[in-house]
Structure 1
Amino acid sequence: MHKLLGIVILLFALNCKSTENQAKMTNDDIVLIGKGNLYGSGAEGLKKQNLIITSSEEWKDLLDKINSVNKVSDSFAEKNVDFSKFTVIAVFDDVKNTGGHSLNMLIQETKDKVIVEVLHKAPEGIATSVMTQPYYIVKIPKSELPIVFK
């Protein structure tokens, strides 16, 4: 009886997945780099898009575009990202004819993917008459899981 119990416990232990390397991403792991609006009336050349940036070269190219009209990245929390440890997610909306538009992100890690939900906010009532392009940029811990936009 003890041998059977020992075998059952051993099989159970071998079949249990280790949670040591399966830590879920928390809100503390998501670092806001920058959010706001570009004011170049589209001259930056950034169309509405969701970007997953995994290298310093891609990040530098994006910063060059963002800064082509105004030095937007001067207000970023950080510009030097260690891409061996982090991935940058950048979301850009369409160019808008009024102010008051903004973006936000909800990021959730499941067992098989990282889900990024992009939230759009439009002004209620009267808004300033200025051309804007909302953006939202964060960094998250590097993961092997695919990133899916919702």
Structure 2
Amino acid sequence: MKTKFQENKTKSILLGSKNLILIFAAIFSFLSCSNNDDEPFTPINIEFEVIGSGNLTSMEEITPGNIVINNQNDWNILINNMNSINSDTTNSFTTTTIDFQTHLIIAVFDEIRMNNGFLISVANIVENQNNLTVDVIQSNPGSIQSVITQPYQIVRIPITNKPIVFE
């Protein structure tokens, strides 16, 4: 027959063994977790919505180039600038209401052209490991009509913290 001391000692050893097994199991699980840092990043095509596109028609221009807008104030400034050149420009936009908590705007503006055969557009947007790449295409399907124009396109994409690079 075991004494009370021997029973307590046996319970302590068993309890200590269980704790030790649990600790080893936790360490083994932690060390055996796969780390995906070695796997290559697969680029992802980002869906975008065209808000508006066309041509501004005036000698007054918006500075040619690419603009990323992530706040309401900058968006209002762009809309006002575009409407000051052509008063009804933004009437054809699919929307002018943007939730900058979930989306941002990418606007591309070509230089002023002396005929209306020029176009500019966002071909695709790809999320890479370290940035978003926006492919901008400028084309001239041809026109002999002499009209001063400035092609543009404005798209909306989901918000991102990655830098945006234009190609």
Q: Which runs of 5+ in 1 are unaligned?
A: 18-22
Decide whether aligned partners of structure 1 residues 84 and 55 sit closer, same or farther in structure 2, where only a CA change above 3 A counts. Answer: same
Q: CA deviation at 1:117?
A: 1.4
Which structure carries more helix by proportion?
Answer: 2
Structure 2 match to 1:34: 52
Larger-Rg structure: 2
Structure 1 match to 2:156: 139
Decide whether aligned partners of structure 1 residues 50 and 12 sit closer, same or farther in structure 2, where only a CA change above 3 A counts. Answer: farther
Cα RMSD (Å) of the superposition?
Answer: 2.4
- Amino acid paired to 1:136: Q
Segment drifting more, 102-111 vs 86-95:
102-111
Structure 1 match to 2:75: 59
Question: 1:1-150 residue pairs with structure 2 within 5 A?
Answer: 7=28, 10-13=30-33, 15-16=35-36, 24=44, 26-27=46-47, 30-41=48-59, 43=60, 45-70=61-86, 71-105=88-122, 106-124=124-142, 126-150=143-167
Q: Which runs of 5+ in 2 are unaligned?
A: 1-23, 38-42
When the two structures are superposed, what TM-score results if normalisation uses the length of structure 1?
Answer: 0.81
When the two structures are superposed, what TM-score results if normalisation uses the length of structure 2?
Answer: 0.74
Q: Tell me the SS of whatever aligns to 1:68.
A: helix
On the 8 A contact 2:133/2:164 being kept in 1, the answer is: yes
Divergent runs of 4+, >4 A: none
- Amino acid paired to 1:114: L
Identity %: 32
